[in-house]
């Protein structure tokens, strides 16, 4: 397979200039290169039932009692489906969305838990079948039986996404099935054949330890139930084979990435085995997990992010941004910078999934209805480290503040599709920036000015730069801000205002109320037949120390430290670089890392050497930890 390395195509350079000139009719085709680095994606998270009803024939489903055509009973189905998403793909693509995360598509239990049906998709009955409410009325929901023909609306969704070079993120739940609904709990099927239910569990597919009582007790959190959900017994190999074979079926149909629910509630060994098998089956799949309310100061969630084989949703940053921009926290942006200052605790902070709200918390505007503040929050996640994920409807300022906007009122039906909203246009421009400027997707985050109300920072990777200034408060003028930017005139990609940079500084930087300024300078791209994206962790570098790679091939200097390939500083614990290989593409090479230190001799890794067979062409990742 020939892979196209990101940001090497000349079309991109031309298109970038268009973005910088802020032309309204730019063609976003250039954004959608297959085999692209996932850090350049912009994710959009959809509650399928609440997005768009593209097929009214499926609305009543197997049980018409669960469908509410008036859309006033929040616990019932309102008609959204996969055809509805297909119908709106151009709307999403035109906004710059490059990956779509859908709530689980598996067949659900059909019944009411008090007043709620499984509209969210987290009460699965059969992991190998599609929810009949999301597909054609007469379609076969069995993945196995439609594998040969691939003729379901689900297959059409995948085709339509891939035709637009967009990706599908499948939401997977491994921890539990369903609660007691109308007297039946945890009813589970294998492609239509019943396996077990909670009360007939001779083969021990479920844990039977009751509800979590002490949330500080890790054993309880992993083995007991929450909210009465039947909780799988991961020690049962039949269960593990069932769930892994189901996920592989979905991947075989063209799913590009996985979002995994409730990872905190299963032991890390389960996730290591799950990821090992899934990544062997499909090495290019990207996986991220939901460790509820994880935080860089929480040892266990950090350990999970670093050792489970998947990255995580960044609740630490989410909660902080909501406090600072949604609820006016007094210390303001300093709290955001405090989170970024802990990035070194993660091996891959640049791969965390960032967000400001989701289906489990009030929408941002239920905290603060000011649309400008929402724009500041979105600009922040789209220009700082991590992969931004927008909750559906954000671009339409969708929110319902009943009961403070808590669940279920954070899941309203999508009501408008206006492509002219300020935020729709904002996202479109910032998504383009993420694809074209590697400093935003891959680079380090350098605070330039942090006050409670004003935040200025520079993202940097090689000679690419992105300078961002944002204002939570009243209009203000800053005397001089170091932008660490090339001298000359630069245009804000959001407002088209011009800024003069001299000696790296912007003098008299005016920021109106809730304004965001984003300047972009894209430097030279790394080009090569094969590009290795190298990430090194586990070395606490001090100022004056840099990390480089040496090896037995010309690209790595034939072990000559004077010709080593230097990496880029991301944070104290992370060095990153893209190494182009031409002569050695397709060959076995050996290499090791070296620390170059001012005023003292270089320090080489303490091992014989690392070995790697390079692919003939394309992009590969090395994830290494310094060997002391
Ligand atoms: Ca429908
Ligand atoms: Ca569990």
pLDDT of residue 284: 86
pLDDT of residue 17: 52
CA of 360 to the centre of ligand 2 (A): 19
Nearest to 306, CA basis, from 341, 346, 260, 265: 346
CA of 72 to the centre of ligand 2 (A): 34
| 3-class SS of residue 553 | coil
CA of 140 to the centre of ligand 1 (A): 16
Phi, psi of 102 (to 5 degrees): -105, 140
Residue range(s) occupied by CATH 2.60.40.10 in the chain: 530-625
Residue range(s) occupied by CATH 2.60.40.1180 in the chain: 444-521
Query: Is residue 248 within 8 Å of 129, Cβ to Cβ?
Result: no
Phi, psi of 48 (to 5 degrees): -55, -45
Residue range(s) occupied by CATH 3.20.20.80 in the chain: 38-441
Query: Is residue 528 within 8 Å of 570, Cβ to Cβ?
Result: no
pLDDT of residue 15: 52
What is the C-alpha separation between 206 and 55, in angstroms, rounded? 36
Alpha carbon 327 to its chain centroid, in Å, reads: 24
CA of 57 to the centre of ligand 1 (A): 6
Ligand closest to CA 53: 1
First vs last Cα of the chain: how many Å apart? 37
**CA dihedral angle for residue 358, residue 361, residue 362, residue 368, rounded to 10 degrees:** -80
Ligand closest to CA 262: 2
Identify whether 524 is a catalytic site residue. no
Nearest to 50, CA basis, from 352, 428, 363, 437: 363
What is the C-alpha separation between 391 and 226, in angstroms, rounded? 25
pTM of the complete model beyond 0.85: yes
CA of 482 to the centre of ligand 1 (A): 53
CA of 87 to the centre of ligand 1 (A): 12
Query: Tokens in use for 176?
Result: 């539990």
CA of 214 to the centre of ligand 2 (A): 14
Look at strands 618-625 and 603-604 and give their pairing: unpaired
Edge to edge, the sheet with strand 311-312 lists: 311-312, 286-289, 257-260, 167-172, 99-102, 43-46, 387-391, 353-354
Query: Is residue 443 within 8 Å of 458, Cβ to Cβ?
Result: no
pLDDT of residue 616: 86
What is the C-alpha separation between 374 and 298, in angstroms, rounded? 28
Q: Which member of 15, 53, 290, 395 is catalytic?
A: 290
**DSSP assignment of 299-364:** HHHHHHHHHSSSEEB-HHHHHHHIIIIIS--TTTHHHHHHHHTTGGGSS-GGGPEE-S--TTS--H
Ligand closest to CA 209: 2
> Which long-range CB contacts under 8 A does 245-248 form with residues at least 24 apart?
245/128, 246/127, 246/128, 247/127, 247/170, 247/172, 247/278, 248/278, 248/281, 248/282
Phi, psi of 432 (to 5 degrees): -60, -40
Identify whether 314 is a catalytic site residue. no
Ligand closest to CA 233: 2
Residue 307: how many CA atoms within 13 Å on its side-chain side?
12
Nearest to 170, CA basis, from 86, 254, 245: 254
Collect the ranges in the chain with pLDDT lower than 70.
Answer: 1-36
What is the C-alpha separation between 178 and 197, in angstroms, rounded? 10
Question: What is the longest distance spanned by two Cα atoms in the chain?
Answer: 76
444-480 per-position pLDDT tens digit? 999 999 999 999 999 999 999 999 999 999 999 999 9
Q: Which residues are in the CB-under-5-Å shell of ion ligand 1? A: 53, 55, 58-59, 79, 81
Q: Which fold has domain 444-521?
A: Immunoglobulin-like (2.60.40)
Q: Which fold has domain 38-441?
A: TIM Barrel (3.20.20)
CA of 136 to the centre of ligand 1 (A): 9
Ligand closest to CA 67: 1
CATH top class, domain 530-625:
mainly beta
Phi-psi region of 323 (alpha: psi -120 to 50; beta: other; left: phi over 0): alpha
Q: Which member of 261, 343, 568, 578 is catalytic?
A: 261
pLDDT of residue 620: 86
What is the C-alpha separation between 438 and 314, in angstroms, rounded? 21
What is the C-alpha separation between 346 and 302, in angstroms, rounded? 6
What is the C-alpha separation between 489 and 487, in angstroms, rounded? 7
What is the C-alpha separation between 532 and 456, in angstroms, rounded? 32
CA of 80 to the centre of ligand 1 (A): 5
What is the C-alpha separation between 383 and 603, in angstroms, rounded? 35
């Amino acid at each position: 397979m020939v892979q196209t390395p990101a940001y090497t195509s000349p079309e991109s350079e031309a298109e970038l200039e268009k973005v910088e000139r802020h032309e309204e009719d730019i063609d976003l085709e250039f954004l959608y290169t297959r085999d692209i680095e996932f850090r350049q994606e912009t994710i959009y998270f959809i509650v399928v039932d609440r997005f768009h009803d593209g097929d009214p024939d499926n609305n009543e489903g197997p049980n018409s009692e669960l469908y509410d055509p008036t859309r006033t009973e929040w616990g019932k189905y309102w008609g959204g489906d996969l055809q509805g998403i297909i119908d709106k793909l151009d709307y999403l693509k035109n906004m710059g969305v490059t990956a779509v995360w859908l709530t689980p598509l598996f067949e659900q239990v059909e019944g009411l838990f008090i007043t709620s049906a499984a509209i969210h998709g987290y009460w699965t009955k059969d992991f190998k079948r599609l929810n009949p409410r999301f597909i054609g009325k007469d379609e076969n929901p069995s993945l196995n039986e439609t594998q040969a023909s691939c003729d379901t609306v689900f297959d059409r969704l995948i085709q339509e996404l891939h035709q637009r070079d967009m990706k599908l993120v499948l939401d997977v739940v491994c921890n539990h099935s369903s609660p007691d609904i109308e007297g039946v709990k945890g009813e589970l099927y294998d492609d239509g054949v019943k396996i077990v239910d909670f009360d007939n569990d001779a083969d021990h597919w479920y844990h039977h330890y009751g509800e979590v009582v002490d949330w500080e007790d890790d054993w309880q959190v992993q083995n007991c139930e929450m909210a009465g959900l039947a909780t799988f017994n991961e020690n049962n190999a039949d269960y593990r084979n069932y769930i892994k074979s189901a996920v592989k079926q979905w991947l075989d149909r063209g799913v590009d990435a996985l979002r995994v629910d409730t990872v905190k509630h299963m032991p890390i060994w389960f996730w290591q085995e799950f990821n090992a098998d899934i990544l062997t089956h499909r090495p290019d799949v990207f996986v991220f997990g939901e460790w509820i309310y994880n935080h860089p100061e929480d040892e266990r969630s950090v350990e999970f992010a670093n050792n489970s084989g998947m990255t995580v949703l960044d609740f630490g940053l989410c909660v902080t941004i909501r406090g600072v921009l949604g609820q006016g926290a007094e210390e303001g942006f300093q709290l955001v910078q405090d989170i970024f200052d802990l990035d070194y605790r993660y091996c891959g902070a640049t791969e965390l999934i960032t967000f400001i709200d989701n289906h489990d918390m009030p929408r941002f505007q239920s905290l603060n209805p000011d649309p400008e503040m929402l724009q500041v929050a979105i600009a922040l996640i789209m220009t700082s480290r991590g992969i931004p994920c927008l909750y559906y409807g954000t671009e339409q300022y969708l929110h319902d503040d009943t009961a403070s906007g808590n669940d279920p009122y954070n899941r309203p039906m999508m009501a408008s599709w206006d492509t002219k909203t300020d935020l729709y246009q904002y996202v479109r421009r910032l998504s383009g920036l993420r694809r074209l400027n590697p400093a935003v997707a891959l680079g380090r985050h350098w605070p330039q000015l942090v006050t409670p109300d004003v935040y200025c920072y520079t993202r940097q990777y090689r000679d690419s730069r992105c300078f961002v200034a944002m204002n939570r408060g009243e209009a203000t003028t800053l005397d001089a801000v170091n932008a660490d930017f090339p001298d000359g005139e630069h245009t804000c990609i959001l407002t088209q205002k011009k800024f003069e940079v001299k000696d790296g500084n912007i003098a008299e930087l005016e920021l109106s109320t809730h304004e965001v300024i984003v300047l972009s300078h894209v430097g030279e791209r790394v080009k090569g037949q094969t590009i290795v994206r190298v990430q090194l962790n586990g070395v606490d570098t001090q100022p004056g120390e840099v990390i480089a790679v040496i090896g037995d091939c010309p690209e790595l200097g034939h072990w000559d430290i004077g010709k080593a390939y230097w990496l880029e500083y991301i944070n104290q614990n992370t060095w990153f670089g893209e190494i182009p290989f031409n002569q050695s593409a397709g060959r076995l090479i050996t290499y090791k890392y070296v620390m170059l230190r001012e005023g003292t001799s270089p320090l080489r890794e303490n091992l014989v050497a690392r070995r790697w067979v390079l692919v003939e062409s394309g992009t590969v990742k090395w994830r290494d930890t310094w060997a002391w």
